[in-house]
A and B are shown apart, each in its own frame.
Chain A
């Protein structure tokens, strides 16, 4: 467990850098992950994926299956990787403030 301070906001994260509390999510968190992920700009494509992840998580308490993400947003897995170099889990879910996936996944 560690604390990250970025632009006057502080965040509690787990050892893999995921937010511990989804409620702590704010635009500054997105900015922070953007920098560490090496993403230049948050485009409408990024936003569409982040919005879907957050909506799904609020409803179901868990991240969606990758294929559900793809079907609902229209981005193929390869395109998700182009947008989020660390992939849907370590990149997109982390930026959206979702916790690290659990179980044998």
Chain B
């Protein structure tokens, strides 16, 4: 294995076996908090023999180890074919101009490294420079696709063999696609886009993807209606259960409308909320009803789940799901779609859908942060902010805040309802990823969980603790407002693993829960702290 300081770009095509290993004992310690590392589980001999776990301590894709020279060649040829298609506008109708810009204009200043939480939290490991992956991609492009004269000498040689391909595939999954690096690039090179274009090539041309995103994700959603596996019947049963359950808890009768034709708004939740965070669903219904909105959910397959994992890895799947969402809204004749507390659903249905869905199929879309701000500011809800008399900090989901620029609406709400609101050290568009971005929050196998704990999630953990530096310990209850399902999943894991519920009285949930918690007509105590006794 190669030490970080000795690692070269060409090592991906020459080294045999696992290329690097991150020693978790040498990672820089986080201030404020004593964290519990997640030990790496070494790969078994069987794994090493059968799958290409040849990059680092993690294996996301389980690419079968080629057994013959022909199989090795097939991997390379398919990759090259895909790569050529990626650079033709007939085949890459979505992102070609941005891709070409990012390929042609990098001046190797490496400003991106300093912006990357993975680079910082891996102890500035060479492999985690955002440009490490991009440079491999670029050299292959210039030498084998664009065939620039003297490319080898001008940009550096890059042997394209099966190891290069397998490692590049894995490298495209050592990035959270948070695009913080793109924001600091003086030229606008987007390493996040490059990683995502690679993922797309591997998925669309080679059938290589994480099963959580493809088989259990988009395919499951297109087949049964939701990535959770909920059918239209189950989702309606579950929501009516939530209505009943939370009517009792809140003392306010909650009724969630389904399939109301001609309503102004079709609300799309991430269906994971229904399964894992039902209080989020209840809170939305309660607020929307109390504000007198004309709104509905849809029970059409796909349309009761705002999830669109396609944005993490595949354009065709992205388009299929975005279209299903739009069609359901057209069918109900609503004026607009409001997207619930889910970051990637925001990206898929707004910024990306603008590019992949023809205009005549589109329905106006709005972020729930904006809808909620309008409701809270309208004075329609009777609020008692003193019920939220605990420290609150806010996590900015990358897809909503940095990508879309929705920074202030959620803060206007918090300034009004959370008297002890405080920002994290880096916030707004300068935020850091939760560590679960781009699909990682739902993956656990092959050390992915450990990777999130040791590397990708540590910056956020540090930020959260820094925001509460004046009140750590069990005495003061604290609330992390993280209005995104994916981010909540990641934050939950870090808090559980480090026993933060008991040791430091943390709770995490979204924006709507905090609003409901201070509504005067709701029974006090809507937010639940794990450190409190179970009711």
Contacts and interface: CB of A to CB of B under 8 A. Distances in A.
B316 interface: no
A67 B273 CA distance: 13
Interface stretch (A23-31, A37-45, A70-78): A70-78
A96 to B, nearest CB: 15
B442 A16 contact: no
A16 B535 CA distance: 31
A68 B241 contact: yes
B2 interface: no
Which of A60, A65, A78 gathers most chain B CB within 10 Å? Answer: A65
A90 B143 CA distance: 48
B437 interface: no
Interface string A66-105: 1110010000111000000000000000000000011111
A105 B242 CA distance: 16
Contact of B241 (A14, A16, A65): A65
A105 B445 contact: no
A98 to B, nearest CB: 10
Please tell me the size bucket of the interface on A.
Answer: 10 to 19
Interface string B268-293: 00111111101000000000000000
A103 B224 CA distance: 12
Contacts of B159: none
Which of A14, A16, A67, A77 gathers most chain B CB within 10 Å? Answer: A67
A68 B276 contact: no
Contact of A104 (B230, B238, B272): B272
Nearest to B344: A104
Nearest to B486: A104
Given A68-B241, A102-B212, A105-B276, A61 B229 contact: yes
A102 B307 contact: no
B446 A65 contact: no
B278 A67 contact: yes
Nearest to A87: B496
Please tell me the size bucket of the interface on B.
Answer: 35 or more
B397 interface: no
A65 B238 contact: yes
Given A71-B245, A101-B275, A62 B230 contact: yes
A60 B231 contact: yes
B148 to A, nearest CB: 42
Contacts of A67: 241-242, 245, 278
Contacts of A8: none
Interface in A4-22: 14-16
B462 interface: no
Interface of B: 212, 216-217, 220, 224, 226-231, 233-234, 238, 241-242, 245, 270-276, 278, 305, 307, 342, 441-442, 444-446, 485-486, 489, 534-535
Given A67-B278, A102-B229, 9 more contacts: A16-B444, A60-B233, A65-B275, A68-B241, A71-B241, A71-B245, A102-B212, A104-B441, A104-B489
24 contacts: A15-B446, A60-B231, A61-B231, A62-B228, A66-B276, A67-B278, A68-B238, A71-B241, A71-B245, A101-B275, A102-B212, A102-B216, A102-B220, A102-B227, A102-B229, A103-B217, A103-B271, A104-B270, A104-B442, A104-B485, A104-B489, A105-B228, A105-B272, A105-B489
Interface of A: 14-16, 60-62, 65-68, 71, 76-78, 101-105
